[in-house]
A and B are shown apart, each in its own frame.
Chain A
Amino acid sequence: MNYPIWIVPFLGGGWVIGIIAIIHVFLSHFAVGGGMFLAVTEHLAFKRKDEAIYEYLRKHSLFFMIITTVAGAVTGVAIWWAISLVSPDGTATLIQNFTLGWAVEYLFFAGELATAFAYYYTWDKLPKETHLLLAKIYAVMSICTLVVINGILTFMLTPGGWLKSHYWLVGFFNETYLPSLIIRLLIMCAIAGMYALVTSSQVKNVETRTYLVKFCAKWLLPIFILGPIVGFWYLKNVPQAAIETIFTGISSSGIGNFSILARALYLSMILSGTVVVFAYVGPYLNPKGMTTRIALLFMVCGLAVTGTTEYMRELLRKPFVVYGYMYTNGIRKESIPELDNKGFLASCKWAPLGLTASSTDVDRGRAIFRYQCLGCHTEGGYRSMSRLLGERDKDAIEGFLTTIHNTDKEKNPYSGIMPPVAGNDQELKDLAAYLDTINHEKRIASKAHLGAAAPASEAAAKAHI
């Protein structure tokens, strides 16, 4: 609310972050896990003096280097661009607290990039022992970037003691720091292993291929077994209120009584279970039969587990961007009473721009909608207001807004998943007036259809009798 708003029609700003973040998470996790895989596999090649494994690593590392250094870095910058436009207040909170943390992470990242280039371009130019050392340095550097960024990411869900002290290190080393660090390391190793399965299935020499595919299975199996155990440990440290949201999300009876979070959790469990069976029956029991097509499909499944788990983690934080401190629309939890008293538009720096004395209630409502709702909803696209409002008329919308204006959990069943609407009574009316315009014409057309259908159904009833 202290910065200009960025309007992304149909898709919504959340998805701009989401799409970039999903790609970046896959790439950055691949960069760290792949670093560990390269170090361990090269260590194996060094010990066995196995030229076939060296040859495999040489080819494997080209794509790895390009993906991590180019695509990983580009999407990393893109995330900054997206979050600062879509969620400027949240981004500001993170920067103000973790400037030093990010500076340290950047140092490690620069080291990681330098080592990645050195690693790839010194194949056959450095003694094998020195080259192996480069692989290990790369692995350590990339793990260090995770060690830092993990503190900032987990802070957003479990800021813990920071809420009182506002001291960055307290927020950094929070309740989910350690389980999240381990679970991310496991995911990173899993992505790297699944990618290695794709590349090793392409090795022409049958003996080397069989050995490498089985090596990938041995790399993956413990990760897939440990994953759900660490996942459970992680969930134990998440705020209880967020866990409750998993099972009591708002949904209509027609689409099941579980929230999207619960469904994401079940999906994550099913996919995690099936990848264990897959890794055992496929590359472990039948390494010779592993084809690139199946390895690729397996990687898609593995990435789906990662994507679903990440999505679930993001949903757990709802309706906050920093849990218990700042809502997804950039409004601080403690500011709500003040905004209710003074009025939202009067307290907001940018929203009133463009509004004049002659502006209508719809204009004012639109401005409030943009600043308070657009972070998660769109008019007619993702989480469409048109679909959610349905047949509600202005009075019904106002009644609904009064419910979600309430900060009391007992009176507002949406409090666990939506920020309360901030503003005075007149502003709620303005917002209702604007929301009413979204489906106004559709409602009139629907009434006209029902009116026309009534005589037809009477005729049908007579025929039926």
Chain B
Amino acid sequence: MSSGSVKPNKLLAWLDERTKLEPLIHFAQKKEVPLHNHSYWYYMGGIAMLFLAVQIVTGILLMVYYVPDLENAHASILKINSQIDFGWFFRSLHSWGANLMILVLFFHLFSTYFMKAYRKPRELTWLTGIVLLALVLGFGFTGYLLPWDDVSFFATKIGLDISSKVPLIGTALAQLLRGGDTIGQATLSRFFVIHVAALPLLLMALLGVHLLLVQNHGMSEPTGFKALPASEKKYEKFFPDFFYNDVLVWILAFNVLALLVAWFPWGIGPEADPFAAAPIGIKPEWYFLSMFQFLKFVPSMIGPLEGEFVGVLLIAGVGLILALVPFWDKGDDEGRSKLATAFGIAVLAAMIVLTVLGAFS
């Protein structure tokens, strides 16, 4: 039976003398996690962290063999897939891991949203989370081009065309990312640097802040749980009880990743040919599909304005409302609280419906 505490032993004592980690362990033991029907959503952040660790390790391994050069990019991925021992395995871990990480982050975002965990004093935790999600989507967008196959080439082309419609900065942003008027070596080099250097640095710094805030504020309690009398509220210790279950959930999540990697290893299409016709039905990755599909529904002109411009403006507006939710739903107004929930449901439903429509169109 678990005693709920760590037994002192010589190794720990030796380590503690040199690292002074005891206050940290003490803090973790003192920290408590609320136990209620929705407690399982607390594991999402941890799962995303596991997948991030997978991304870092496999990304470093892939960098050993990947060559960010128009002549060699595609060939180097082919070599990783077919000649390097376990190359296919680590590349598939990287690609499937990225997709799972984004999926889990969406779960994390919406569970936090619907549990109203963004409210005071966690506004900054929420905002850093939103920016982290944007950075991860940036990883997805830049990493997608690196294999330099036909689908990734044309999907990136479409993506950059759309980003050029972003109000004010769009054209300059697209030009900066592309490194010119067309997608070529400059684009590949820039995407590579952004993917392996710029975004990781930003992510690490921001993740540090996010985790620090999470630790300082502790786990948020849903409204229903808060309203319970103290005698009915149940908690478990973060360490070791929650931590042990966290490890179990990581193992399960890793097994899901391993299953996908083994049964559906990540392939690669034919090398990109900028002069060839775009493959039929070219689509971006699933996490951009709802936006892509939405823009397809927007008429080409809305009044004097270009349809895509208005569409991008609307998407940006929804993102902004979502990001700023802690400042308009502070928990002191029931009407606003219900409005925030309805808005969240509408955004989630629209994302699911548009993604499904996009996948089958």
Q: Decide if A and B are genuine partners.
A: yes
Say yes or no: B82 contacts A253, CB within 8 Å: yes
Q: Which residues of B contact A (CB under 8 A)?
A: 1-2, 40, 78, 81-83, 88-89, 92, 182, 236, 240-241, 244-245, 247-249, 251-252, 254-255, 258-259, 261-263, 265, 267-269, 274-277, 280
Q: Give every chain B residue within 8 A of A297 (Cβ-Cβ).
A: 252
* B70 shortest CB reach to chain A, Å: 13
Cβ of A304 under 8 Å from chain B: yes
Q: Which residues of chain B come closer than 8 Å to A255, judged between CB atoms?
A: 81, 88, 265, 267
A203 to chain B, nearest CB (A): 14
Taking CB atoms, residues of chain B closer than 8 Å to A267 are 258-259, 261-263
Distance in angstroms from A215 CB to nearest chain B CB is: 11
Q: A270-B255, A277-B251, A286-B2 are in contact. Are A464 and B182 (CB under 8 A)?
A: yes
Given contacts A258-B88, A460-B275, contact A301 B82 (CB under 8 A): no
User: Which residue of the partner chain A has the closest CB to B276?
Assistant: A457
B101 smallest CB distance to A (angstroms): 19
A278 touches B251 (CB 8 A): yes
> Which one of B82, B248, B277 contacts A453 once the chains associate, using CB atoms below 8 Å?
B277
Q: Between A and B, how many residue pairs show CB distances below 8 Å?
A: 110
Stretch from A128-136, A143-151, A288-296, A406-414 contacting the other chain: A288-296
| Contact of A266 with B251 in the complex, beta carbons under 8 Å | no
Task: Offer 18 A-B interface pairs, CB within 8 angstroms, sorted by A.
Answer: A210-B2, A214-B1, A254-B81, A256-B81, A256-B89, A256-B92, A256-B265, A257-B81, A264-B262, A271-B255, A281-B248, A286-B245, A289-B2, A294-B245, A294-B249, A301-B251, A453-B277, A460-B275
The CA-CA distance from A281 to B252 in the complex, in Å, is 13
A375 located at the interface, meaning its Cβ lies under 8 Å from any Cβ of chain B in the complex: no
Please give the distance in Å from A447's CB to the nearest CB on chain B: 14
In angstroms, Cα B182 to Cα A261, docked, is 43
How many angstroms from the CA of A211 to the CA of B261 in the assembled complex?
37
With an 8 A cutoff between CB atoms, is A168 at the interface? no
The answer to whether B265 and A263 touch across the interface, beta carbons within 8 angstroms, is: yes
Contacts of B261 in A (CB 8 A): 267
List residues of chain A with CB under 8 Å of any chain B CB.
210-211, 214, 253-258, 263-264, 266-267, 270-271, 274, 277-278, 281-282, 285-289, 291, 293-294, 297-298, 301, 304, 308, 449, 453-454, 456-457, 460-461, 464
Contact between A274 and B81, CB atoms less than 8 A apart: no
Other contacts beyond A254-B267, A289-B245, A294-B245: 17, CB < 8 A = A253-B78, A253-B81, A254-B81, A255-B81, A256-B89, A256-B92, A257-B82, A263-B265, A271-B258, A274-B258, A277-B247, A278-B252, A281-B251, A287-B1, A288-B1, A298-B252, A460-B276
Least CB distance, B235 to chain A, in whole angstroms: 13
Chain A interface, >50% SS class: helix
Which residues of chain A are near B83, meaning CB under 8 Å? Answer: 257
Residues in A neighbouring B255, C-beta threshold 8 A:
270-271, 274, 301, 304
Q: Which residues of A contact B245 (CB under 8 A)?
A: 282, 286, 289, 291, 294
**In the bound complex, how far is the Cα of B252 from the Cα of A457, in angstroms?**
47
| A residues near B274, Cβ cutoff 8 Å | 460, 464
A460 to B280, CA, bound (A): 16
Given known contacts A288-B241, A294-B245, A301-B252, is B268 in contact with A254 (CB within 8 Å)? yes
* Shortest distance from the beta carbon of B156 to any chain A beta carbon, whole Å: 15
Give the residue name and chain of the B residue nearest to A257 (CB).
B82
Q: Which residues of the other chain, A, contact B82 by a CB distance below 8 angstroms?
A: 253-254, 256-257
* B262 CB to nearest A CB, Å: 4
Known: A214-B1, A293-B40. A464 touches B248 (CB 8 A): no
In the bound complex, residues from chain A placing their C-beta under 8 Å from that of B249 are: 294
Say whether, besides A254-B81, A264-B262, A286 and B241 are in contact (CB < 8 Å). Answer: yes
Q: What is the chain A residue whose CB lies nearest that of B262?
A: A267
A277 partner residues in chain B, CB cutoff 8 A:
247, 251
Q: How far is the CA of A449 from the CA of B281 in the complex (A)?
A: 13
Q: Which residues of A contact B241 (CB under 8 A)?
A: 286, 288-289
Q: Which of B1, B247, B262, B269 has the most CB of A within 10 A?
A: B262
CB distance from B201 to the nearest CB of A (A): 31
Instruction: Give Cα A170 to B58, complex, Å.
Output: 49
Q: B244 touches which one: A264, A274, A286, A457 (CB < 8 A)? A: A286
* A308, B259: Cα distance in complex, Å: 10
- Chain A: CB-nearest residue to B91: A256
Does the CB pair A456–B2 fall under 8 Å?
no
Residues of B within 8 A of A293 (CB): 40
By beta carbon, the residue of chain B nearest A460 is B275
Given A256-B92, A266-B262, A289-B241, A456:B277 Cβ within 8 A: yes
B251's partner among A211, A274, A304, A454 (CB-CB below 8 A) is A274
Residues of chain B lying within 8 A (CB to CB) of residue A211: 1
10 tightest CB-CB pairs across the interface, nearest first? A256-B88, A453-B277, A253-B82, A267-B262, A286-B244, A461-B275, A263-B262, A254-B267, A256-B265, A270-B258
A266, B89: Cβ atoms closer than 8 Å:
yes
Q: Is B1 touching A289 in the complex (CB atoms < 8 A)?
A: no
Min distance, Cβ A103 to any Cβ of chain B, angstroms? 39
A282-B248 contact given A266-B89, A461-B275, CB 8 Å threshold: yes
Q: For the complex, give the distance between the alpha carbons of A270 and B261 in Å.
A: 11
Contact indicator A281/B275 (Cβ below 8 Å): no
Q: Which residues of B contact A258 (CB under 8 A)?
A: 88
Taking the closest CB of chain A, its distance from the CB of B205, in whole angstroms, is 31
Residues of B within 8 A of A266 (CB): 89, 262
Q: Determine if B254 and A274 form an interchain contact, defined as CB atoms under 8 angstroms apart.
A: yes
- Taking CB as reference atom, which chain B residue is nearest A270? B258
Docked-complex contact A263 and B248, CB < 8 angstroms? no
| A285 and B244 contacting across the interface, CB-CB below 8 Å | yes
B344 to chain A, nearest CB (A): 25
**Are A286 and B240 neighbours in the complex by a CB distance under 8 Å?**
yes
Return A453 CB to nearest CB of chain B, in Å: 4
Considering the chains assembled together, what is the distance between the CA atoms of A282 and B241 in angstroms? 10
The minimal Cβ–Cβ distance linking B93 to chain A, given in whole angstroms, is 11
Complex CA–CA separation, A294 to B249 (angstroms): 8
Closest Cβ neighbor of A207 among chain B residues:
B1
Chain A residues whose CB sits within 8 angstroms of the CB of B236 once the complex forms: 289
